[in-house]
Chain A
Amino acid sequence: MIRAVLVMNTQGRPRITKFYEFWPVEKQHEAIRNVFSVLCSRAEHVSNFVDAESIFGPDSRLVYKHFATLYFVFIFDSSENELAMLDLIQVFVETLDKCFRNVCELDIVFNYSKIHAILDEIIFGGQVLETSSTEVMKAVEEITKLEAASNAINLVSKSVSNWRSR
């Protein structure tokens, strides 16, 4: 089971955090700080695995990937395959890339509810839901369309009612 997905920038600011197990908010932020302090001290071109038991308790593993100004961190237990988790980070980032065309940190900051929608299509309650970025894209686009449509209806109905009330 995947325990948490963290995206933070190279200054340690959280950008996306999602915990699939109960963690009190203060603990979440303590963990994020600890993870960051481990990650920022690691050299380039070393392995993507870090011992996480000191931060997340027994039976926890941590895989991270570093892209431009962001760290993508997955924390999971021994029932997941480490190398597959690395691939899953790749799938996540590829999907983001397709969504935003050369995704950058700012895209994630300003569109985080969309990012959450994407993440929810890939990981569902700590389990891998979908590994094809095309499928994920499809699902997310459907959701976006639906939102836009009902927003349009809302706006029209509101303007109509506003107009009537005059």
Chain B
Amino acid sequence: MDPILNPFSSGTRLRDMIRAIRACKTAAEERAAIRKECAAIRASINENDPDYRHRNLAKLMFIHMLGYPTHFGQMECLKCIASPGFPEKRIGYLGLMLLLDERQEVLMLVTNSLKQDLNHTNQYIVGLALCALGNICSAEMARDLAPEVERLLQFRDPNIRKKAALCSIRIIKKVPDLAENFVKPATALLKEKHHGVLITAVQLCADLCKVSREALEHIRKKCTEGLVRTLKDLANSSYSPEYDVSGITDPFLHIRLLKLLRLLGEGDADASDSMNDILAQVGTKTESNKVAANAILYECVQTIMSIEGNGGLRVLAIGILGKFLSNRDNNIRYVALNMLMKAVTADPQAVLRYRATILECVKDADASIRKRALELVYVLVNESNVKPLTTELVSYLETCDQDFKGDLTAKICAIVSKFSPEKIWYIDQMIKVLLEAGNFVKDEVWRALIVVISNASELHGYAVRALYKAFQNHNVITLTSIFYQEAFTRVAIWCIGEYGDLLINNVGMLDLEDRITVTESDAVDLIEITIQCHALDFTTKAMALVALLKLSSRFPSCSERIREIIVKYKGNFVLELQQRSIEFNSIIARHQNIRSMLVERMPVLDEATFIGRQAGSLPDAGSISAGSSVSLPNGVAKPADSLVDLLDLNSNDAPAPSSSGGDFLQDLLGVDLSPAAQSGANQTSKSGTDALLDLLSVGSVSRPVESPSAQSNSSAIDILSASKSEKASVSPLDDLSSLSLSSRTTSITGAAPMMDLLDGFASTPPKSENNGTVYPSITAFESSSLQLTFNFSKQPGNSQTTNIQATFINLSSDEYTDFIFQAAVPKFLQLQLDPASGSTLPANGNGSITQNFRVTNSQNGKKSLVMRIRITYKINGKEKLEEGQISNFPRDL
């Protein structure tokens, strides 16, 4: 085919291939084009045509850059390198650097070609080989070729010398042992006048110092003076256009020299001393209005900060950074912040002088700068300046970008909790943060605030009033508002629920507070608004319900109104709220006597454990949420935990129950059963137990509610006694939880009448008690003459084995003799037959034969039982045979 007509034959030129790829409209088109081209290249490689080798490699490099596999071209690189022509070698080495890397075995094959080219007469070919070596050399190659490179350090052409110097860096990095061979030639190169060579020589020396202690000592002793002189000459030299970057003489050489001096000066007072003057000169004389000059100043500052101390120089250095900070160029400010970050450990006081400027940088439009500045502020904060700094940051919260609020609030919270001088200040600041950026804080933050408030008993009144005022003033919730501050709302309603009485009575006023008049119904109003707000999530609403319950006891006059609010949620689609609503409604309506006890103020939350838990469980998010639901017992975290939390039965922190719905009742009972069982009687010292018993019998309207201590057949007590007698408490409980599950599902669909969940619990257990065996009997086999029924029971503690009692009944009018029952089961079952109760079966159902056997199901839960049976008997001496298959066993045997 004519290559001009088909752009994708191996004959296409590189330029045409690039054009064709660029013309592709979609990624799929591009992939197809490249596949075709690669196929053509592979074919051409197989033909081994040297004329196209160059072109193929060039194409492959382009394809490689686009991210497609090109490994099949690796050998072509080696062939190109081995060919004599300069263009082939050049493309070969380029391909070597791009398509291969130091980890490939193929690379070993190139060592010989490299060695030849390093000794080539054409210095450009030597240059190519050095370049390739410098880019991809492996440790083995470094050992093999180090002598060649060492020799090239003295090559006549400066271009080769500088490449050799940089190649030496790669070699000593790969094989540090070789460093000593390079120390002498490297120091000799420092006397070079050629700028390019000098830069590379300084770099080589710096890397020698890094890999080898001896090299460092040697260069420090022999070269420090010379380097200082070189730098001095350079700083004082006249304008040389060749190495000028926007009017500054060779900033790169400046920087390299300063870097090497830094390595030499670190940890050595004499060396540091000898370079003081020149550092001061560079630091003061360099004009700072150009990027290149600032790069030198920046490097100079770094050197000053690293070498052995000289107070004057440090002041100069931090002064330069201060100037950088007020520079208009963003880049300069960025590096200044970076540098101050390092300087702050050496001299925090000096850095603190630029506090105002740094705070300005926090407000910069540039995200990189803001981030750096914020980190710096965080490091700068201490006990004495925490207040003004935090005030600044908090006030900036109002105006800053949404994207930045997350970072900013996290840092503010960290600062406040780390350095807060007094609790009242902490509470104030956190209220402000939650108001401004409550949606950006982590859950731990508002929980921590609750813990702190709970621990500051003298501030309870202050906190609840402050929260109430903030709530009113900021219109945190209006039904139309879109800025709901969920975290703030949670803290506010928690506090109002706990300390509502302090709110309306102005208890514990501090001097700085203004009196406020809040009526009981104002407080209830606030919570009602909250609970009606559609945008708040159900956790907040559940907390509001708890708060309402608490207020109903604290404000008896509002009790009826609160009940009306609560009742509205008994049909809520969220199960948690529905359940709460019904429970609380019962408590308010029928259990006045225990209500005040139930909703007593929370015990003080343990600050130390909360903080410890926060710190200890940070990597594990799951344990945080579980842990915190325990530490904040009426902060509703998960539906399953909540009832246990609410009742707060175990003040010594029961392990957080798992959250699956089925465990809920087990938890409820489990928490309570153990003390009841231990005490041996139904009277327990814990008031919580009474509450639970009441709760369980609440609503069992048909029965009189009796004191739990009296032995009655009340169902709640049945549960207790059942498990107290240690009679396989597992199964009734299992049963209960499955029942509670089913009642859940019905109530979720809303189809069932709103039956009291507690009723459900109370009335169901006796059924399961009476049933005894869990599985219904089946009629396994029935013919006109014979009926066979199976009764099942499980062996306790062995869920795989089922005891089966088979009962045979004769339906005919003739007596059966020599009655034999045989059964066969598939391999996953095991069968053990006991002897039958007899071999004669009387006629007309006047008696029966029973036979027990056991089936062990090794795949219990996956496969159900199945069985073939064969029954033989004689009627009047005549043999009869009946066969059948039984597959109607209950599913879960």
A residues near B (Cβ < 8 Å) are 14-18, 20, 22, 25-26, 28-29, 42-43, 45-51, 79, 81-84, 86-88, 90-91, 109-110, 112-113, 116-117, 120, 124-125, 127-132, 134-135, 139, 142-143, 146-147, 150-151, 154
Q: Which residues of B327-352 have CB atoms within 8 Å of chain A's CB atoms?
A: 330-335, 338
Report 20 cross-chain contacts, Cβ distance below 8 Å, ordered by A residue.
Answer: A14-B66, A15-B65, A25-B69, A46-B365, A47-B366, A47-B368, A48-B330, A84-B299, A87-B245, A87-B291, A87-B295, A109-B22, A112-B65, A120-B131, A127-B169, A129-B200, A132-B242, A135-B196, A146-B86, A150-B87
Judged by a CB distance under 8 angstroms, whether B527 is at the interface is no
Cβ–Cβ contact B331 & A91, under 8 A: no
B residues less than 8 Å from A86 (CB atoms): 291, 295, 331
Q: Are B18's CB and A139's CB within 8 A?
A: no
Question: CA separation between A133 and B124, bound complex, in Å?
Answer: 19
Per the bound structure, the CA–CA distance linking A129 and B103 in Å amounts to 25
| Complex contacts, A45 vs chain B, CB 8 Å | 330
Given A47-B366, A125-B166, verify A83-B294 contact (CB < 8 Å): yes
B334 engages A49 (CB within 8 Å): yes
B203 at the interface (CB under 8 A from A): yes
Q: Is the CB of B331 within 8 A of A29?
A: no
Judging by beta carbons under 8 Å apart, are A84 and B333 in contact? Answer: no
The 10 A-B pairs at the shortest CB distance, nearest first, are namely A83-B295, A125-B134, A47-B330, A46-B366, A29-B67, A131-B252, A124-B166, A47-B334, A127-B166, A84-B295
- A22-B103 contact, Cβ under 8 Å, with A45-B330, A124-B134, A130-B196: yes
Contact partners of B536 in chain A: CB under 8 A: none
CB-CB under 8 A from A91, the residues of chain B are: 245
In this complex, what residue of B is CB-closest to A120? Answer: B131
Q: Report the minimal beta-carbon distance from B57 to chain A, rounded to whole angstroms.
A: 9
Q: Determine whether B170 belongs to the interface, using a CB cutoff of 8 Å to chain A.
A: yes
User: Does the CB pair B245–A131 fall under 8 Å?
Assistant: yes
Contacts of A17 in B (CB 8 A): 65
In the complex, the answer to whether A51 meets B371 with C-beta atoms within 8 Å is: yes
Residue of A16, A46, A88, A116 with most chain B CB atoms under a 10 A cut-off: A46
Are B368 and A110 in contact, CB atoms less than 8 angstroms apart?
no
B371 partner residues in chain A, CB cutoff 8 A = 51
- Cβ-defined partner of B243 (8 Å) among A28, A120, A132: A132
Q: How far is the CA of A127 from the CA of B58 in the complex (A)?
A: 25
Is B369 among interface residues, defined by CB-CB distance under 8 A? yes
Q: Indicate which residue in B22, B64, B167, B365 contacts A43 across the interface (CB closer than 8 Å).
A: B365
Shortest C-beta distance, B129 to chain A (Å), equals: 12
Min distance, Cβ B75 to any Cβ of chain A, angstroms:
18
Interface residues of B (CB under 8 A from A): 15, 18, 22, 58, 61-62, 64-67, 69, 85-87, 90-91, 94, 98, 101-103, 124, 131, 134-135, 159, 162-163, 166-167, 169-170, 195-196, 199-200, 203, 242-243, 245, 250-252, 255, 259, 291-292, 294-295, 298-299, 302, 330-335, 338, 365-369, 371
Given known contacts A47-B334, A49-B334, A128-B203, A20 and B135 CB-to-CB distance under 8 angstroms: yes
Supplied contacts A14-B66, A22-B102, A150-B85, 20 more A-B pairs, CB within 8 Å = A15-B65, A16-B65, A42-B367, A43-B366, A47-B366, A47-B369, A49-B368, A83-B335, A87-B292, A91-B245, A109-B22, A113-B58, A117-B90, A120-B131, A127-B166, A127-B200, A129-B166, A131-B196, A135-B196, A146-B86
A51 and B298 in contact, given A109-B18, A131-B243 (Cβ under 8 angstroms): no
- Could you say which residues of chain B place their CB within 8 Å of the CB of A79? 259
- Residues of chain A within 8 A (CB-CB) of B369 are 46-47
Chain B residues with Cβ below 8 Å from A25 are: 64, 67, 69
Within the complex, what minimum Cβ distance (angstroms) separates A130 from chain B? 5
A19 to B162, CA, bound (A): 21
Q: Nearest chain B CB to A75's CB is how many angstroms away?
A: 15
If A87-B291, A109-B22 touch, does A125 touch B91 (CB 8 Å cutoff)?
no
A139 touches B159 (CB 8 A): yes
Find chain A residues with CB under 8 A from B199 CB: 128, 130-131
- How far in angstroms is the closest Cβ of chain A from B329? 8
Interface contact B255-A81, CB-CB below 8 Å: yes
**A146 touching B61 by the CB < 8 A rule?**
no
A46–B87 Cα gap in the complex (Å)?
A: 43
Question: A129 to B196, Cβ gap below 8 A?
Answer: yes
Chain B residues closer than 8 Å to A132, beta-carbon distance: 195-196, 242-243
Alpha-carbon separation in the docked complex, A79 to B338 (Å): 14
B411 to chain A, nearest CB (A): 16
Separation of A45 and B364 alpha carbons in the complex (Å):
12
Cα distance, A133 to B170, chains bound together (Å): 24
Contacts A17-B65, A127-B169 given; indicate if A81 touches B299 (C-beta within 8 A).
Answer: yes
Rounded to whole angstroms, the CA-CA distance of A91 and B250 in the bound complex is 12
The reply to whether A147 and B90 contact each other, CB–CB distance below 8 Å, is: yes
B-side contacts of A29, CB under 8 Å: 67
List residues of chain A with CB within 8 A of the CB of B65.
Answer: 14-17, 112
User: What separation, in Å, do the CA atoms of A131 and B295 have in the docked complex?
Assistant: 14
Also in contact, A90 and B245, with CB within 8 A (given A82-B335, A84-B251, A113-B58): yes
Cα A79 to Cα B58 with chains together (Å): 34
On whether A129 and B163 interact (CB within 8 A), knowing A48-B331, A49-B331, A83-B335, the answer reads yes
Per the bound structure, the CA–CA distance linking A81 and B245 in Å amounts to: 15
Tell me if A46 and B245 are in contact (CB < 8 A): no
Q: Considering residues B62, B66, B166, B333, which has the most beta carbons from chain A within 10 angstroms of its beta carbon?
A: B166
Contact B243 A83 (CB under 8 A): no
A46:B368 contact, CB within 8 angstroms: yes
Most buried by B among A20, A25, A28, A84: A84
**In the complex, are the beta carbons of B295 and A81 less than 8 A apart?**
yes
Tell me, in angstroms, the Cα distance from A131 to B197 when the chains sit together. 11
Complex Cα–Cα for A47 and B250 (A): 24
A125-B196 in contact (CB<8A): no
Distance between B489 CB and nearest chain A CB, rounded to angstroms = 33
Q: Which residue of B lies closest to A149 (CB)?
A: B86
Residues of chain B with a CB closer than 8 A to A131's CB: 196, 199, 243, 245, 250, 252
Specify the chain B residue showing the minimal Cβ separation from A61.
B338
Q: Is the beta-carbon distance between A83 and B291 smaller than 8 angstroms?
A: yes
Whether the pair A113, B61 counts as a contact (CB closer than 8 A) is: yes
Assess the A84–B255 pair: CB atoms within 8 A: yes
Chain B min CB distance to A35 (Å): 14
Contact (Cβ within 8 A) A134 B242: yes
Residues of A within 8 A of B15 (CB): 110
Taken together as a complex, chains A and B put the C-alpha atoms of A40 and B665 apart, in Å, by 55
Q: How far is the CA of A110 from the CA of B22 in the complex (A)?
A: 11
Considering the complex, give the chain B residue whose CB is closest to the CB of A28.
B67
Complex Cα gap A147–B88 (Å): 9
B204 CB to nearest A CB, Å: 9
**Chain B min CB distance to A77 (Å):** 12
Are A87 and B251 touching (Cβ within 8 A)? yes
Identity of the chain A residue whose Cβ is nearest the Cβ of B207 in the assembled complex: A127
| Distance (whole angstroms) from the CB of A54 to the closest CB of chain B | 12
Distance between A70 CB and nearest chain B CB, rounded to angstroms: 14
Q: Which residue of chain A has the shortest Cβ distance to B130 in the bound complex?
A: A124
Interface centre among A82, A90, A116, A132, by most chain B C-beta atoms within 10 angstroms, is: A132
A154 close to B85 (CB less than 8 A): yes
Supposing A51-B371, A87-B292 touch, asked if A113 and B366 sit within 8 A by C-beta, the answer is: no
Shortest A163–chain B CB gap in Å is 17
Q: Is the beta-carbon distance between B245 and A150 smaller than 8 angstroms?
A: no
**Shortest CB–CB separation between residue A124 and chain B, in angstroms?**
4
